Chains A and B, each alone.
Chain A
């Protein structure tokens, strides 16, 4: 089942209440928050760090931090699901930094011919049934305004954004995946983000104006 971005805000409403209660030390509310959000956050973390055991360790750190920080969560500044997802992504990205200083390990099946993974296609390392980053991006953009905004990007720009965002790849890694010079990738990502920003901001303000009428 694909959950449309439309109910991101809707889900956030209940979560705000749970988070506020957790901030006051309500463990039961925190447990409910965990039940409702941990499958999403684990999915986010697993996209970036595919080692299941490490991903679950990261998830544990995320929720311990959320418990400590719950009282400082400001619903006026951020939607709860956005806040939680950001914490999880940050932790996952940090775990990649630590991984780079350690022998590289992968959970699940190693590549069958044992060749160096420099040349692996990122899609090969994703379990067969899971969609690639580009497909995820296209699903994510089913929401009207995002779709319209994504239209303004070229196919290659879209792919660079998808690899960076969903897989947590660095510029250099995106460049290797797409077999493009680093500078080109940097400018694609930068320009894509600038385009998305202006387009989404216009769309968002349009929606607010409509709702206001």
Chain B
């Protein structure tokens, strides 16, 4: 089916947002969102149209227990993240906060899914990349089967003409593996074999034009984000 067709996309998005789309169709729709901008835009537009209808609902304060449970879970998460970072000496000097932005596909419309959808990784700009104003993150989407990765810079990444941005998969143990030089303005990177196996972080460094001459990162890390497949 051609999901790029606007009317069709709009009708599907309407059923999705109002909630009558169920089961397999609903999961399929969600798995298509990351790759189909037309569907995504249509769904966002329907959300903006319909969600304000809920403003009339009488608010129901949750019990205090709910916040305590949320808070506990965030605390646990924080310590796990801290532990991971301590193992990665490569990352010293990075702001942990800026780099833990990991999201599943869902975040686009916010429902995690079991059906091998693309995994979206947000690579936050590090202090090395920041130049005063907040630098927008880089978004990478790893296909569900782990064979390709698509990058989408939110704003074009500026590099000196004699420099390239190189993408790395960083395993929990061992040296970072190069995934190649980032195509200017975003693009598709083919992933060889099991290059992502054991890795939980994607990072971008500034390297000499054409990529690191040594096969290891040599320049500053300008973007980083954690992910799990």
Residues of A in contact with B (beta carbons under 8 Å apart)? 1-5, 7-8, 23-25, 27, 30-31, 34, 38-40, 42-44, 46-48, 56, 59-60, 63-65, 67-69, 71-72, 77-79, 81-83, 85-87, 89-91, 93-94, 97, 130, 136-137, 139-140, 143, 146, 161, 164-166, 168-171, 174, 186, 189-190, 193-194, 196-197, 200
Residue of B nearest to A94 (CB): B111
Give which listed residue, B20, B55, B66, B124, contacts A60 with CB less than 8 A: B66
B107 within 8 Å of A (CB atoms): yes
Task: Decide if B55 touches A3 in the complex (CB within 8 Å).
Answer: yes
- Which residues of chain B from 40 to 63 have a CB within 8 Å of any chain A CB? 44, 46-63
Give which listed residue, A30, A39, A77, A196, contacts B62 with CB less than 8 A: A39
Task: Decide if B56 touches A5 in the complex (CB within 8 Å).
Answer: yes
B97 within 8 Å of A (CB atoms): yes
Contact segment of B10-18, B82-90, B200-208: B10-18
Q: Which residues in B have their C-beta under 8 angstroms from that of A193?
A: 14-15, 18
B117 within 8 Å of A (CB atoms): no
**Cβ of B151 to closest chain A Cβ, rounded Å:** 15
Separation of A187 and B106 alpha carbons in the complex (Å): 29
Give which listed residue, B20, B56, B58, contacts A174 with CB less than 8 A: B20
Task: Decide if A86 touches B110 in the complex (CB within 8 Å).
Answer: yes
Which 4 A-B residue pairs are closest in the complex by CB-CB distance?
A39-B59, A43-B57, A87-B110, A69-B107
Separation of A8 and B52 alpha carbons in the complex (Å): 6
Q: Which residues in B have their C-beta under 8 angstroms from that of A3?
A: 55-56
**Cβ of A88 to closest chain B Cβ, rounded Å:** 9
- Known contacts: A24-B97, A64-B73. The answer to whether A87 contacts B18 by CB under 8 A is no
**Cβ of B102 to closest chain A Cβ, rounded Å:** 7
Separation of A92 and B107 alpha carbons in the complex (Å): 16
Task: Decide if A78 touches B54 in the complex (CB within 8 Å).
Answer: no
Residue of A nearest to B107 (CB): A69
- Which residues of chain B from 120 to 162 have a CB within 8 Å of any chain A CB? 122, 124, 137
Separation of A60 and B66 alpha carbons in the complex (Å): 6
Separation of A42 and B59 alpha carbons in the complex (Å): 7
Separation of A38 and B70 alpha carbons in the complex (Å): 12
- Which residues of chain B from 93 to 113 have a CB within 8 Å of any chain A CB? 97, 101-103, 106-107, 109-112
Task: Decide if B53 touches A43 in the complex (CB within 8 Å).
Answer: no
Task: Decide if B61 touches A5 in the complex (CB within 8 Å).
Answer: no
- Known contacts: A43-B60, A44-B57. The answer to whether A197 contacts B107 by CB under 8 A is no
- Known contacts: A43-B57, A60-B69. The answer to whether A90 contacts B20 by CB under 8 A is no
Separation of A129 and B26 alpha carbons in the complex (Å): 33
Residues of B in contact with A (beta carbons under 8 Å apart)? 10-11, 14-15, 17-20, 22-23, 26, 44, 46-63, 65-67, 69-70, 73-74, 97, 101-103, 106-107, 109-112, 122, 124, 137
* 16 pairs of residues in contact across A and B, judged by CB atoms under 8 Å: A48-B19, A56-B65, A60-B70, A63-B70, A64-B74, A65-B110, A69-B110, A82-B47, A85-B51, A139-B56, A146-B53, A164-B19, A169-B20, A190-B15, A194-B11, A200-B49
**Cβ of B198 to closest chain A Cβ, rounded Å:** 22
Task: Decide if A197 touches B54 in the complex (CB within 8 Å).
Answer: no
Residue of A27, A83, A86 contacting most chain B CB atoms (<10 Å): A86
Separation of A165 and B110 alpha carbons in the complex (Å): 18
Task: Decide if B66 touches A56 in the complex (CB within 8 Å).
Answer: yes
**Cβ of A139 to closest chain B Cβ, rounded Å:** 4
Task: Decide if B55 touches A8 in the complex (CB within 8 Å).
Answer: yes
Q: Which residues in A have their C-beta under 8 angstroms from that of B59?
A: 39-40, 42-43
Q: Which residues in B have their C-beta under 8 angstroms from that of A1?
A: 58
**Cβ of B144 to closest chain A Cβ, rounded Å:** 19
Residue of A42, A46, A193 contacting most chain B CB atoms (<10 Å): A193
Residue of B26, B102, B107 contacting most chain A CB atoms (<10 Å): B107
Task: Decide if A90 touches B53 in the complex (CB within 8 Å).
Answer: no
**Cβ of B83 to closest chain A Cβ, rounded Å:** 17
Q: Which residues in B have their C-beta under 8 angstroms from that of A81?
A: 51-52
**Cβ of A49 to closest chain B Cβ, rounded Å:** 12
Task: Decide if B106 touches A34 in the complex (CB within 8 Å).
Answer: no
